[in-house]
Amino acid sequence: MKKLSLDRILQSQGFGTRKGCRALIEDSEVTVGGEPVTKFKAEFDPEGLEFTVFDEPWIYRQHVYLVLNKPANYECSRKPSHHPGVHTLLPEQFTWREVQPVGRLDHDTTGLLLLSDDGDFIHAQSHPKHHQPKVYVATLAEAADNTLVAQLLAGVKLIDEPAPIAAQRAVLLDTNHIEIVIAEGKYHQVKRMLAAAGNHCAALTRSEIGGLKLAELDLAEGEWRYLDEHDLARLNGA
Ligand code: URA
């Protein structure tokens, strides 16, 4: 990769304004490859660059791809109104980098949430044409039987939607829990589908996106990590 000055590198990684990054470097808060660097014009090849800021280790990343196990009572909106934003669960560098959720989960929905600052990735993952299957487990307010499954598979009519919407898959786990797979990401889709089928969603969690399964990620609620190559391949169905 083309060499870049250290202040530019830090700025690209979310350490604040150029001025702020220069101050960090001049205040001896930055090391690169284990060596202190106090000249902000010092140039480095950013590819794989290892550096520390306030003794915390970082690796240069052109883009970040994250997975968060979203707890309830966090909003996916950039300007949350009633609850803290999911970005408050992440290092503040990611807010500077404008990392944003790939699609939204309701404030009371828990589970698998992807975030990135790569617009192409966000677009590809969330575009309806991509048909990325998303698996949800809903807790039902009313005990159900396979009539509900049949209704969801046949398609239910949602207000403002011209045609009925069907689940790709639906499996009753027990009388009060259903696993439901949808390809779209319409507003409150699962809750509205369950309401349209005469039930009510008491709690909702997203357990899978594409081939990526929350249960295999070993993330406690509120925890996040970078998606690795393996995860990205799983997302795309590998
Ligand atoms: N469907 C919903 O109703 N809510 C979500 O958060 C996600 C899917």
pLDDT band of 27, cuts 50, 70, 90:
very high
**If you average pLDDT over every residue of the chain, what do you get?**
95
| Ligand 1: centre distance to CA 179 (Å) | 13
Q: What CATH architecture applies to the domain 133-209? A: 2-Layer Sandwich (3.30)
**C-beta of residue 172 within 8 angstroms of C-beta of residue 146:** yes
Measure 75 CA to ligand 1 centroid, in angstroms: 12
> Is 116 a residue whose pLDDT tops 80?
yes
* Ligand 1, atom nearest to 185 Cα: 8
Mean pLDDT over 107-116 rounds to 98
Q: Given this model, what pLDDT does residue 34 score?
A: 92
Rounded average pLDDT over 195-211: 96
DSSP-derived secondary structure letter, 85? B
Ligand 1 atom index nearest CA of 109: 6
Per-domain residue ranges for the chain?
Answer: 4-59, 65-128+215-235, 133-209
- Å from CA of 177 to ligand 1 middle: 15
Per-residue confidence (pLDDT) for residue 54, from 0 to 100: 97
Report residue 25 as tokens.
């470097």
Ligand 1 — pocket residues by CB below 6 A?
105-106, 109, 188-191, 204
Q: Are 207 and 112 in contact (CB under 8 A)?
A: yes
133-209: same fold as 4-59?
no
CA atoms in the 13 A half-sphere facing the CB of 4:
16
CATH code of the domain occupying 4-59: 3.10.290.10
Nearest by Cα to 61 from 29, 26, 99, 35: 99
Q: Name the catalytic one among 7, 27, 106, 118.
A: 106
Ligand 1 pocket mutation pick from 107, 156, 204 by most atoms within 8 angstroms of CB: 204
The DSSP 8-state label assigned to residue 71 in this structure reads P
DSSP 214: G
- Angle between helices 189-196 and 146-154 in degrees, nearest 10: 120
pTM: 0.94
CATH of domain 65-128+215-235: 3.30.70.580
Q: What token pair was written down for 163?
A: 């045609």
CB 184 within 8 A of CB 177: no
| Chain segment 43-92, per-residue pLDDT in tens | 999 999 999 999 999 999 999 999 999 999 999 998 889 999 999 999 99
Give the mean model confidence (pLDDT) for residues 21-35: 97
| CA-only gyration radius of the chain, Å | 21
